[in-house]
Structure 1
């Protein structure tokens, strides 16, 4: 029987031996040393009574100790919840409450920010866990196939965050640690990951996935602190990193006015939101053939990936089961737009505590992406829109409903409608269309402050348009397409 995740990661570290696999703050950490850190943290977690099914929140950065803590949590079979930096206390508290977290591991001084954001239970400091004696044996992998390995939160903007469930079986089936099954685009990318720049938190889905791919390809993880661009790429002689559409736009603009030596750079993986063809061409002109455009979702993992050789705007040939369906649920011919349904090896199995919502997305073994697109005659995937009402800011998905409800509570607002608009800095941003209260004129700054305080700055409108009334569809629902088209 195949050993469950993260058994293959432990094998990679063991095989690396004295080879450097991680660089951080002037330190070079070998596979042997990183495996030792993982052993110590796993032993400490077991001494605290943690094992299969125990909920553990990870509030961690990107150093080698953080990586060891992430892998150790999976080694003992815990139900892992990664907490990304930058969340408001309200968002973090909702996330921890929703996931029923009783234990948190942190490398942040003082632990979780804000009293309201602390889990109900124990906060474990990573440096104390690392003080556990190392017995030198290979850690025992305790996760069972059917156990929940992690809850991945798709949005921090709702009152109760939506957490996608991924089992240990799904994580074991993921493509990153199986070189023999890498599709052509991933194989090409893997060959460029000699020095992969990591930032933010290694507990995140995207950073961990590409980090494991880099290790499987024989590369080194290089922690960026601070993660400024292009400075971090230059300082660390990075060959690859992950980037959002907004950061890519800022990088290209900055390099036009202040060129930097990016001679080592071979791959930037753009993820999180669509990359407009003109922006892709501009990036290629400035950076060369280094941009890979990944398409995936929290619920599915990677769906498809465009290499620098693919036409700008396309997402390459999907290596997974993918069909484009019409509204009646029937596949449509090549070149015809429809809703995209997929099946991937590592897809989720529902939403934590929200079975009804899962029934709408996980359909007879397929995942309903709620994205619109088409396949061309060569099998390449092209996206054309979304069926769901969201804004994707810096690769994070935010539902518009909570923003609209909050804006409508402002005394100068009678009705509020929110749409996504392209934004050079963040990929997409919030545009609010507001029906003002009689005799009042709402100010953008006031509305931004209201939303920022409750939902975070990413959800705050960057543009405001005052309207007399909202246009309606034939079914009597708000017609947001007509709002954005001005008709």
Structure 2
């Protein structure tokens, strides 16, 4: 058992001990390559020693520019084991934004997926770092795997302390100064304890979204509990369905737009998905109508997890609450997790009673340390131990939490506020609509107008006017979109959320040309 001199254990210690308890079990699968628990454990210790040999150590930043490789998991564990803070870049950001982040977090070493060496060169031209380490042979940097192979795989105690920063995760857009969310090693242990339970050696988790996002936490939980992780590089509905059947996947995490694509794929009807026992969704608002469709397609295996990088886990809507006859429950984010406090407050900071809309505020031992080098922004969202999430919602009399909108997405129109998720729910309820995204666009008078982008079901003929008539009839003129456009698929962010910034930009450009 690996324990630091002061007795503090990190999540990495826990996972390395779990890997060592059954070294022959299959831990990671990637493109037909299968890595045992023992092999992964040895690689982590070897990598950690290789990093230390480069002079890298506690309190420094290691940035990952990596896809979903087994070695990516090992590199994160190795860096955290020696007390480094880890920043994992989203691969689909521009080189300019990636470079700004690399520089901002004071990167000491950049660890690069060999498939991303060209992008690494672009980033390094803008933001040079002391050490460039490649997960394999490449024309730039040093081969970290070769360096690790020269090192011992003997265990050693972690070098982190509870208050040291463990991870810096960036969020909040692709322009301006990015927000780096800092989580300490102590908070990482708390967070892992609040994730959906993944127990048993038959648990097989499929990862098909970036390890830089929520999937990374699920890998940690799975490996800790004795399960196996199958890694896909990115989401492709056909590939995901085939992998579920071939690898007998039991656990799956998807953001709602990706879940919709999965169940709408033609292969879904004749793919054997009976191995699935737990399909977790979250990360952005889900449509009750589409979630009901998913329950009918995959069975009573769905669970919604609501959380934020800033706040950790907040609430869960369990599988037994996924009643297709109860759209009110499907609309909610479930009940607040044990150990988490939630209040709903108005603009003056007053706690609101059940049923009233306000900002969701959270208090728990998972809340971030703060935003990297942004004390004023940290003070704005962290007040008296409460994190102000920026989400608008309400708690009902039975303790179910419902998210209505993001404060920044709420559209202010003449006569009141339009909650984008409520309008999306209504549009998605139309039998010929698969998905929608609602957002505000300012006109020449700087007034916000409601816009919607809609993905129609194959073969449907519903048009803009019919949908506008439906909205006006159901919700009134205030909610009626000024414009509805149709697309084959919604653009998504790197994490898999609808990219409303891109949709808004498109609408503004179209308006300028009109």
Q: TM-score, normalised by structure 1?
A: 0.77
Structure 2 gaps of 5+ residues are 1-6, 137-142, 322-328, 411-419, 422-438, 457-484, 491-497
Q: Does 1:380 align with 2:386?
A: no
Q: Does 1:228 align with 2:243?
A: no
Tell me how far apart the structure 1 counterparts of residues 200 and 151 of structure 2 sit (CA, whole Å).
34
Task: Decide whether the 8 Å contact of 2:67 with 2:233 is kept in 1.
Answer: no
Cα distance change of structure 1 residues 338 and 226 upon mapping to structure 2, 3 Å threshold: closer
Cα distance change of structure 1 residues 296 and 421 upon mapping to structure 2, 3 Å threshold: farther
Tell me how far apart the structure 2 counterparts of residues 215 and 422 of structure 1 sit (CA, whole Å).
40
Q: Does 1:35 align with 2:41?
A: yes
Give the C-alpha shift of residue 303 in structure 1. 1.0
Q: 1:52 aligns with which of 50, 58, 62?
A: 58
* Match of residue 330 from structure 2: 312
Tell me how far apart the structure 2 counterparts of residues 330 and 120 of structure 1 sit (CA, whole Å).
48
Q: 1:64 aligns with which of 66, 70, 84?
A: 70
* Match of residue 106 from structure 2: 100
Tell me how far apart the structure 1 counterparts of residues 200 and 449 of structure 2 sit (CA, whole Å).
42
Task: Decide whether the 8 Å contact of 2:392 with 2:407 is kept in 1.
Answer: yes
* Match of residue 135 from structure 1: 152
Tell me how far apart the structure 2 counterparts of residues 288 and 340 of structure 1 sit (CA, whole Å).
31
Give the C-alpha shift of residue 27 in structure 1. 2.9
Give the C-alpha shift of residue 48 in structure 1. 0.8
Greater Cα offset, 251-260 or 40-49: 251-260
Give the C-alpha shift of residue 416 in structure 1. 9.2
Task: Decide whether the 8 Å contact of 2:235 with 2:258 is kept in 1.
Answer: no
* Match of residue 225 from structure 2: 217
Residues 20-39 of structure 1: per-residue CA shift (max 9 Å, x gap) = 22222323322111100101
Tell me how far apart the structure 2 counterparts of residues 323 and 266 of structure 1 sit (CA, whole Å).
32
3-state secondary structure, aligned to 1:130: helix
3-state secondary structure, aligned to 2:360: strand
Give the C-alpha shift of residue 159 in structure 1. 2.0
Residues 138-184 of structure 1: per-residue CA shift (max 9 Å, x gap) = 1331112222212110134222211111112211322x2x4xxx58x
Counting only pairs closer than 5 Å after superposition, residues 291-370 of structure 1 correspond to structure 2 as 291-310=302-321, 311-319=329-337, 320-370=340-390
Q: TM-score, normalised by structure 2?
A: 0.74
Task: Decide whether the 8 Å contact of 1:193 with 1:214 is kept in 2.
Answer: no
Cα distance change of structure 1 residues 263 and 23 upon mapping to structure 2, 3 Å threshold: same
Residues 88-136 of structure 1: per-residue CA shift (max 9 Å, x gap) = 1122122212222232001233626064422411211123222223423
Count of paired positions = 420
Q: 1:199 aligns with which of 196, 208, 223?
A: 208
Task: Decide whether the 8 Å contact of 1:193 with 1:267 is kept in 2.
Answer: no
* Match of residue 168 from structure 1: 185
Q: Does 1:459 align with 2:504?
A: no
3-state secondary structure, aligned to 1:23: strand
Cα distance change of structure 1 residues 278 and 5 upon mapping to structure 2, 3 Å threshold: same
Task: Decide whether the 8 Å contact of 2:381 with 2:389 is kept in 1.
Answer: yes
Cα distance change of structure 1 residues 461 and 467 upon mapping to structure 2, 3 Å threshold: closer
Structure number with higher relative contact order (C-alpha < 8 Å, ≥ 6 residues apart): 1
* Match of residue 247 from structure 1: 258
Q: RMSD of the TM alignment (CA)?
A: 3.4
Cα distance change of structure 1 residues 352 and 97 upon mapping to structure 2, 3 Å threshold: same
* Match of residue 163 from structure 2: 146
Tell me how far apart the structure 1 counterparts of residues 284 and 171 of structure 2 sit (CA, whole Å).
14
Tell me how far apart the structure 2 counterparts of residues 385 and 279 of structure 1 sit (CA, whole Å).
18
* Match of residue 326 from structure 2: none
Tell me how far apart the structure 2 counterparts of residues 198 and 269 of structure 1 sit (CA, whole Å).
12
Counting only pairs closer than 5 Å after superposition, residues 407-418 of structure 1 correspond to structure 2 as none
Tell me how far apart the structure 1 counterparts of residues 221 and 451 of structure 2 sit (CA, whole Å).
32
Greater Cα offset, 362-371 or 246-255: 246-255
Q: Does 1:266 align with 2:277?
A: yes
Tell me how far apart the structure 1 counterparts of residues 365 and 332 of structure 2 sit (CA, whole Å).
23
Tell me how far apart the structure 1 counterparts of residues 15 and 311 of structure 2 sit (CA, whole Å).
21
Residues 308-363 of structure 1: per-residue CA shift (max 9 Å, x gap) = 22131121211111111222222222222221111232221211121111111111
Cα distance change of structure 1 residues 145 and 418 upon mapping to structure 2, 3 Å threshold: farther
Residues 383-407 of structure 1: per-residue CA shift (max 9 Å, x gap) = 1122224899xxxxxxx99x98xxx
Task: Decide whether the 8 Å contact of 1:325 with 1:340 is kept in 2.
Answer: yes
Greater Cα offset, 211-220 or 292-301: 211-220
Tell me how far apart the structure 2 counterparts of residues 40 and 130 of structure 1 sit (CA, whole Å).
9
3-state secondary structure, aligned to 2:74: helix
3-state secondary structure, aligned to 1:66: helix
Tell me how far apart the structure 1 counterparts of residues 334 and 385 of structure 2 sit (CA, whole Å).
23
Give the C-alpha shift of residue 421 in structure 1. 4.9
3-state secondary structure, aligned to 2:319: coil
Q: 2:135 aligns with which of 126, 132, 137?
A: 126
* Match of residue 438 from structure 1: none
Greater Cα offset, 306-315 or 273-282: 306-315
